[in-house]
């Protein structure tokens, strides 16, 4: 395909990306100030030029084909490159501006990042933040994200990032529960307690704990289970038993004396733990709007880490 023809397809590629991101031809048309039929013709023209079907259309929804997924990533890359060129040219003369899309685990977003965003938005009035919380591992490129937070030991291949903070799991219970049923003094005692576990997999009822070189697995039981740490915290506050909680989920309740930790000399290793990393593609120029959010979060959560 010649250069002239490729240049002619660039608006159609941009329209295709916008249709997928907005979920419909109508929504994309509203953003561009065009008619849905005109947007539909652009996507059809792109499909015809490429000789493939990118979208499966129905009266209720649009669905990307397999080749559509791959094409979407390349088209997004094209738009990102154009945005980077503009941002790079303007960085020395303008304030950070534009939309930043960021994803992270639910509890981390709820307890750690969301409380920090109002001050960031006040400091950068021309920046918009779209915060998506999900406990699944997302693909920043496929999902159109600028940043993602993942709890891991090291960034995955193809990703660069900044460490934000260590994530620890604490075993917590209410003082009232412990007054009634006693405090466990060894992990084996957990088998005699009501325990609130994640219930995503059968292995979630087999708690693993470590103390130095000593490792134990304890089969626990309980009448209440949930994979959301805030709901487990509510269960602990309702005196339902002992639950693993990320330290940031339990922090306020611990400070208020509403819950206490147990088995403090043991490390709970069943649920996710490690370092919370703020990740972004390693081969992508970071626009100023993204860079200032990275620096802001790192300065608040890991102030001793150099920029």
Residue ranges making up the domain that contains 121: 98-166+274-301
Q: What is the pLDDT of residue 307?
A: 42
> Across the strands, what pairs with 100?
129
307 found inside a domain:
no
Give the rounded distance of the alpha carbon of 202 from its chain centre: 25
Residues 258, 224 share a domain: yes
State the chain's mean pLDDT as an integer: 87
Residues 258, 185 share a domain: yes
- Give tens-digit pLDDT for 34-90: 998 998 999 999 888 888 999 988 767 788 999 988 899 888 888 887 777 776 666
Q: Is the pLDDT of residue 165 over 60?
A: yes
Asked which of 90, 122, 147 is the last residue of a domain, the reply is 90
* Structure-token match 């620890």, residue found: 168
Residues 141, 102 share a domain: yes
User: Residue 81 is part of a domain; what is its CATH number?
Assistant: 1.10.10.10
Q: Is the pLDDT of residue 192 over 80?
A: yes
102 found inside a domain:
yes
> Across the strands, what pairs with 221?
194
178 found inside a domain:
yes
- Give tens-digit pLDDT for 148-161: 998 887 777 778 88
Residues 196, 284 share a domain: no
Residues 259, 180 share a domain: yes
How many domains, in total, are found in the chain?
Answer: 3
306 found inside a domain:
no
Residues 254, 222 share a domain: yes
Residues 252, 254, 259, 264, CA torsion sign: positive
Taking the C-alpha atoms of residue 173 and residue 244, their distance in angstroms, rounded to an integer, is: 9
Residues 255, 113 share a domain: no
41 found inside a domain:
yes
Q: Is the pLDDT of residue 288 over 80?
A: yes
- Give tens-digit pLDDT for 225-269: 998 899 999 999 999 999 999 999 999 999 999 999 999 999 998
Taking the C-alpha atoms of residue 80 and residue 70, their distance in angstroms, rounded to an integer, is: 16
- Give tens-digit pLDDT for 200-213: 888 889 999 999 99
Residues 186, 44 share a domain: no
Residues 258, 226 share a domain: yes
User: Residue 263 is part of a domain; what is its CATH number?
Assistant: 3.40.190.290
Rounded percentage of the chain residues whose pLDDT exceeds 90? 49
Residues 110, 81 share a domain: no
Residues 226, 138 share a domain: no
Strands of the chain, DSSP E: 55-57, 62-64, 98-104, 127-133, 147-152, 159-167, 169-173, 206-211, 214-219, 243-246, 260-261, 267-268, 274-281
Confidence of residue 91 (pLDDT cuts 50, 70, 90): low
């Amino acid at each position: 395909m010649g250069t002239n023809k490729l240049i002619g397809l660039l608006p159609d590629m941009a329209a295709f990306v916008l249709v997928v991101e907005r979920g419909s031809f109508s929504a994309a048309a509203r953003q561009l100030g065009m008619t849905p039929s005109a947007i539909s013709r652009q996507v059809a023209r792109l499909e015809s030029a490429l000789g493939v079907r990118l979208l499966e259309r129905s009266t209720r929804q649009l669905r990307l084909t397999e080749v559509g997924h791959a094409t979407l990533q390349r088209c997004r890359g094209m738009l990102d490159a154009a945005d980077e060129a503009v941002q790079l040219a303007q960085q020395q003369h303008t304030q950070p501006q534009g939309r930043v899309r960021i994803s992270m685990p639910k509890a981390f977003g709820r307890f750690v990042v969301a409380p920090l965003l109002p001050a960031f938005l006040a400091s950068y009035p021309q920046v918009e933040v779209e915060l998506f919380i999900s406990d699944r591992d997302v693909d920043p490129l496929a999902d159109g994200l600028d940043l993602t937070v993942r709890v891991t030991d090291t960034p995955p291949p193809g990703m660069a990032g900044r460490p934000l903070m260590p994530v620890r799991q604490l075993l917590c219970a209410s003082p009232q529960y412990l007054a009634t049923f006693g405090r466990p003094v060894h992990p084996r005692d957990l088998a005699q307690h009501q325990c609130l576990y994640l219930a995503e997999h059968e292995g979630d009822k087999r708690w693993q704990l470590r103390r130095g070189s000593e490792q134990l697995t304890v089969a626990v039981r309980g009448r209440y289970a949930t994979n959301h740490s805030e709901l487990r915290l509510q269960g602990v506050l309702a005196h339902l038993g002992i639950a693993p909680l990320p330290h940031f989920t339990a922090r306020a309740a611990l400070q208020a004396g509403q819950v206490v930790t147990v088995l403090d000399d043991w490390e709970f290793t069943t649920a996710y733990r490690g370092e919370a990393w703020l990740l972004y593609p390693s081969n992508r120029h970071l626009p100023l709007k993204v860079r200032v959010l990275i620096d802001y979060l790192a300065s608040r959560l890991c102030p001793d880490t150099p920029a």
